[in-house]
Structure 1
Amino acid sequence: MVELQSDSTPPGSLPLALIVGDAPRGTGWLRHLLEANGYGALTLTSGREALAVARSAIVDVIAIDAQLADMDGVTLCRLLRDDVRVSAATPVLLVSPSPVLGANRLDGLRAGAWDCVDPTTTPEDLLLRIQAFVRGKREADRQRGAGLVDPTTGLYNRQGLARRVREIGSQAYRERSALACVALGLEVPSGPQAELVVRRCTEALKSAARVSDVVGRLAVQEFAVVAPSTGAQGAVQLAQRLARSLGAAAAHSWPGAPALRLRAGYESVANVGYEPMEPMELLARATSALRTGRPEPGLDWLRRYEPTATA
C-alpha cells in the first residue's frame, strides 16, 4: 500500500473523490489508495447517478472507469464537461484497465478528461497528479468566492488575472527570468451552439496550458495566457499549441461544426530583472498586439506587439 499522506494530501478539509465504476473489478484499488492517503471516497456504479451527484455535491476530483454499466466513461466525461451545474474546475480522470494510447487517449481528453490513468501509471505518480489537480481546484473555488474567477468558465476574470499576473511578475523579477503573454480572440458564430463552443475551448485552454501558466478570460470570446520562463520563441510555440487545441475542440463541438477562426497577439520579456516592466503592461501589450500587432512570418493569425502600434 502506498502512503504519502504528508506530501500528497491537499491542505484543509478532507478532500472528497467521486469514483465511478465497478469497485471489485475496476476501481476498488483506487478507492483504497486514496483513502489510505487522506481522501474521502464516494463510489457509484452508474453514470447517471454520478452525474446527479456531481451536479449537487461538492467533490474535489472525479475518477471514471472506462466502461460503466449504463454508459462508457468517455460519454460521462462529455456529459460532465457540458453540464453548467458541474464546476469546470473539477478535475476528471478516466481510468482504464488496459493501456490508453493514441486515438483512445485523445478521445478521452477531448471529452473533458484531465488525464488518463492506466496500468502504466504508478501509484506515486497518480497521487502527485491528483494532489496538484485538487489544490488547483480548491484554489479556483477560493478565488471564485473572492470574486476573482469567471463563473461561466472557471478561469480568472480580469480582476483575478491582474492579481495573478502581478504575483508571477514579481517572481520573474526576483528570478531574473523571462515572461510572456499570449492573448487569444475567438470568432464564434452567434447562435445556440456558441456557448458550447466557448465552453469546450475553455477546457482545451486548460489542457494545453502548463501548470505554471495563468489562464484568464478578458471578454466573452477573448482569453489570455501568461507564461513564466517563456521568451519570444516560446510564446510563438505556446500560441501554436493553443491554436491546435482550440481548433480541435471547436471541430468536435458538434457534427459539422464550422472551423474556428482564431487570432492571437503576444508580447514577451527575455529577462524581467534587466528589463523591468509592470506586469499589467505585458498583458496590455499582448491584447494590443491582438488587434494591431505585426504578423509573424507565415502565421497571419499571430501578431507580435510593436511599440508604435496603438489600440
Structure 2
Amino acid sequence: MPDSIYLTLSSDNYYAPMVATLLKSIEQNYQSAETIEVYIIDDGISATNRKRIEASVRADLFHIHWHPAKSVVPATVKLPADKSALPMTTYLRLYAPYIVPPEARRLLYLDVDMLVLGNIADLWHTDLRGCVCAAVQDVGQTVSCAWAGIRNYRELGMDPDTKYFNAGVLLMDVQQWREADIANRVIRCMNDNLKHVTCADQYGLNVVLMNQWVQLDPRWNWFSTLPHAAPYLIHFVSVDKPIFAACSSDKHFLDLFFTYMRQTSWKNFQPISNQSRFFHKVYRKGKKISMHMLARL
C-alpha cells in the first residue's frame, strides 16, 4: 500500500467555505494512489460547517481529522500579539507537526485561501535534500525587502540578500521540525522582536529557518494578483478574499474559485458584504490589541 499524504489546514468558522473549496480543488486535480489524511486545526468551526466540509469531498480519498485549536498550542505558550490584521489561526501551523501520528515523516501545510490546480502528489514527493522544509520564495524576494521582509535583518546578522519565503505553503520534515523546536523558537523570536514583525509568524519562520529551506517552483504558491497561464497553486493573498463582494484578484482566478466552490456544500454561497468584512477585520485586530495589552500587564 502506498504511504498517505499528510495535509494540515487551520481555519475559523468565517473561512469554512474556503476550506471546502480548497479541498475540492485538490480532489479534482489529484492523480495518485495515496489517500490524504487531512488534519484541520479548528478555531471555532461550527458543527454544521464541519459536516458541510466533510460532505463536500470524497470520503474514500480524504480522511478528515478535527483538532480544536486550544488542544494544539501548549497552554504555556504566549502567542505574539502582532499588529497585523491576520487572524490568530496563522500561528497554529507552527504546532501542526505535533498533531500528526508517529508514522508521518513529512507534513504539508496550506493556507486555506488557496486553490490547487496541479497534482498535489507532485508537491508531496519533493526532495527536501536534508532541509527542515520547502517553500516558495516570496515576491519580496529577500529579507531586505522594504515593504515585507525582516525589518531588523541587520541587527539579527542576516545578509541583505538572504532569500525570504512565503509561509502559505510549507512542506515540513516532521522529525527535524520537532527536534529543532522550530515552533517555540519562532514564537520566542517574535516576542523578542515584536516591534519589527510583519506578516505574523512568517517573520519568525524566516529568521529561524534562514538558509534551511528548499526553494519550490514559484507555481506552487502563485499570488492571485499576478496573471499566469498555468500555476499549480493559486494563493489569494489580497485582504479581499474571493468570499468577499470586492476582491482584487485576477478575474480568471476568481472564476476558477467559484467553479470549485459550486461543487461543494456552498454551491449557493453569496459573497460577504464589504461592511461585514470590515467589521470582521476590526474584530480580529481588536482581539490582537487586547492580547497585546494583557501581555503587558
With the shorter chain as reference, the TM-score category is: under 0.3
| Bigger RCO (CA 8 Å, 6+ sep) | 2
TM score, norm. by length of structure 2: 0.27
Point out the structure with the larger helix share. 1
Larger radius of gyration: 1
